[in-house]
Amino acid sequence: MDTSKSDQSKTGSGTGPDRVELWFLIGMLPVGGAERTLVDLVNNIDKTEFSVTVWTIIDEGELRDELNDDVHYRTLNAGGKWDLRAPIRFIRAARAERPDVINSFLFFDNLLARIAGQVVNGPRIITGVRAVPNDQSRVRSLLDRKTQSWSDQIISNSEAGAEYAIDRGASPEKVGVIRNGRDVELFLKGSASKALYDALDLKKDQKIVGTV
């Protein structure tokens, strides 16, 4: 069953009977690139146009607490990403509530979103390619390839990801690129603690270059 954020979830607010019902689905919400992108996206969507719900497969992750109060948070409370109760719960909720769009990001949530789109009439299914895997297992590769065509749209955060989806059989007309966006002001105002400098054996005046 899903939960709500006052017992573990946030209940969104907003008005307008004609808002688009938009569901986002992800495995969980730890600190990570796709997860940060999702939280920033849903917090900044116009809630007068969209009713936004974030679903997680597993109810874990620090970023849950960063969702704004006007974003619904719900979870499938799965014991793991292969927990077969999760798709049953999600499909049951989708059938009952009929969202307009289901948008997923990573392998397990992509798979679940695609399956839901096959058995629930109505929602448009948007799935993601967030990275080009170098060592994907045969099982994952087969499942991803066989279900990819069930997406109405595939969004990658890079040209390489888009090319990967097309190489695996996706129609180029269904594949788009939307690059990650970040509020750089958050980083310009940031500062490191003395403990971090000490841990890295760095002096205060040393320049640091980082990559992700």
pLDDT at position 3: 45
Total-model pTM: 0.82
The H or E element that residue 110 is part of is helix 107-119
pLDDT for res 155: 97
pLDDT category at 112 given cuts 50, 70, 90 is very high
- CA pair distance 55, 48, nearest whole angstrom: 20
pLDDT of residue 16: 58
Q: With bands split at pLDDT 50, 70 and 90, how would you rate the model's confidence at 186?
A: confident
3-state SS, residue 164: helix
Average pLDDT over residues 162-189: 89
Q: What is the pLDDT of residue 14?
A: 54
pLDDT band with cut points at 50, 70 and 90 for residue 37: very high
> Residue 197's pLDDT is what?
85
Q: How far is CA 66 from CA 15, 39, 54, 71, in A?
A: 22, 7, 12, 10
What is the mean predicted confidence (pLDDT) over 177-183?
A: 88
pLDDT for residue 7 is more than 60: no
Counting every residue written for the chain, the total comes to: 212
